[in-house]
Amino acid sequence: MIKLLYLEASPRQDNSYSSRVAKAFLDSYRERNPDHEVEHLPLFDRELPAFGAEGANQKMDNIMNLFTGGSGIEVEGEWAGVMQEIERLKSADKVLLSSAMWNYNVPYRLKHWIDLVVQVGASVMVNEKGEYVGQITGRPLQMIIASGSPYEDRFPLESDGSKTDFMRPYLDHIFRFLGFTDIRCLRVMPTGIPSPETEDMVARCEEQARAAARVF
Ligand SMILES: Cc1cc2nc3c(=O)[nH]c(=O)nc-3n(C[C@H](O)[C@H](O)[C@H](O)COP(=O)(O)O)c2cc1C
């Protein structure tokens, strides 16, 4: 069965603009694909596996093990949590990510998930030329990002001053590193000051999301 993994990275539930637009996307997606499975991972409501000293040391041991001709370390302790989250991502044919912008980047719960699944030696391998090769390939990613202020879709420029978007280029980079090439992004912004204009903007985003879901 085709599976869509939905990562939700705002804790604000009904008040969240990114979740609201993602809901429009999912309603439209489900209508068109009633037989597809949707796995919902609300990152603020689920305890993700820990990744601390043990996991970080296991990661480096695993790289050394592979580098010296081994087939990887024992899957136990924190490394088992890492493998569990990588397997969850690998089991998905499509990925939907909705997220708030916090302090010009991703909220910490999404960074926690990223620090679990992005692992050289597991989800990203190194070839004979020393190049990184992402292992999570052939899947489209739809991102829906909400921010209080508006931002340009480009790599940060010095002239962006105190309003610099590190989030979209970071997410773009991290998912390309994992092996994604089909990355679509819908931005819900500016949400900072609720007003009739904000509601109009969100309604337009919901319409775009429904259209995006029809070709996802
Ligand atoms: C802790 C926190 C940090 C935020 N940082 C930023 C920021 O750096 N830039 C910005 O434009 N908006 C920022 N905002 C506003 C949110 O991006 C905005 O409320 C957005 O709609 C959040 O997505 P959500 O509605 O899906 O929760 C911040 C909000 C919070 C709660």
Of ligand 1's listed atoms, the one at least distance from the Cα of 19 is 26
Q: Can you tell me whether residue 101 is helix, strand or coil? A: coil
Closest CA to 99 of 165, 50, 163, 33: 165
Domains located in the chain, CATH noted: 3-214 (3.40.50.360)
pLDDT of amino acid 209: 98
User: Which whole number is the average pLDDT over 27-40?
Assistant: 98
Q: Does the C-beta of 147 come closer than 6 Å to ligand 1? A: yes
pLDDT of amino acid 54: 98
Q: Which residue has the CA at smallest separation from atom 12 of ligand 1?
A: 148
Q: Which residue has the CA at smallest separation from atom 27 of ligand 1?
A: 16
Of ligand 1's listed atoms, the one at least distance from the Cα of 105 is 8
pLDDT of amino acid 67: 93
The pTM for the full model equals: 0.97
User: Which whole number is the average pLDDT over 124-143?
Assistant: 97
Residues 165 and 190: their CA atoms lie apart, in Å, by: 13
Q: Does the C-beta of 102 come closer than 6 Å to ligand 1? A: yes
Residue 20, φ and ψ in degrees, nearest 5: -65, -45
Q: Are strands 140-146 and 94-100 parallel, antiparallel or unpaired?
A: parallel
Q: How far is CA 167 from the centre of its chain?
A: 11
